Amino acid sequence: MSESERKNFLGSGNDPFICENCGADIAPLSGSFRNHCPECLWSLHVDIVPGDRKNPCRGLMEPIRVEGAEGSGWYVVHRCVECGEESRNHCALTAEVQPDSWEVLIEISRSSPPPKG
Ligand SMILES: [Zn+2]
Ligand SMILES: [Zn+2]
């Protein structure tokens, strides 16, 4: 990936937005881009490559389970309510502005079935 492509990649998709699930006003994340609401952790199916906002689906994506561990970082797995596609997203629990809700993350991990095997 060239320097200009990289800039483009990181620069797109990091705008303030309003969550379509809970209506929260979301500020952009510095140093990275948000792909889910920090308040309810729902996402929107807008990316093909993370951050590109080129997916025409635009369905709401429900947080269905939590993966990861203390130390290695936490991921929330989203499933699109429109097309069923799943994607795994790193949580921004330590963001300076509007970090992801730890309480909601715990709720999701409690309600999701334990991993098989
Ligand atoms: Zn929300
Ligand atoms: Zn979708």
Question: Rounded to 5 degrees, what are φ and ψ at 44?
Answer: -125, 140
Give the global pTM. 0.79
Q: Cβ(59)–Cβ(83) under 8 Å?
A: yes
From the CA of 52, how far away is ligand 2's center (Å)? 15
The one-character DSSP state at 36 is B
**Whether the Cβ atoms of residue 110 and residue 62 lie closer than 8 Å to each other:** no
What ligand has the least distance to the C-alpha of 58? Answer: 2
The contacts found for 66-75 with CB under 8 angstroms, 24 or more apart, are 66/105, 66/108, 66/109, 66/112, 74/105
**How many Å lie between the centroid of ligand 2 and the Cα of residue 65?**
17
Domains of the chain, by residue range, sit at 3-111
pLDDT over 60 (residue 11): no
pLDDT tens across 64-92, in order?
A: 999 988 788 899 999 999 999 999 988 98
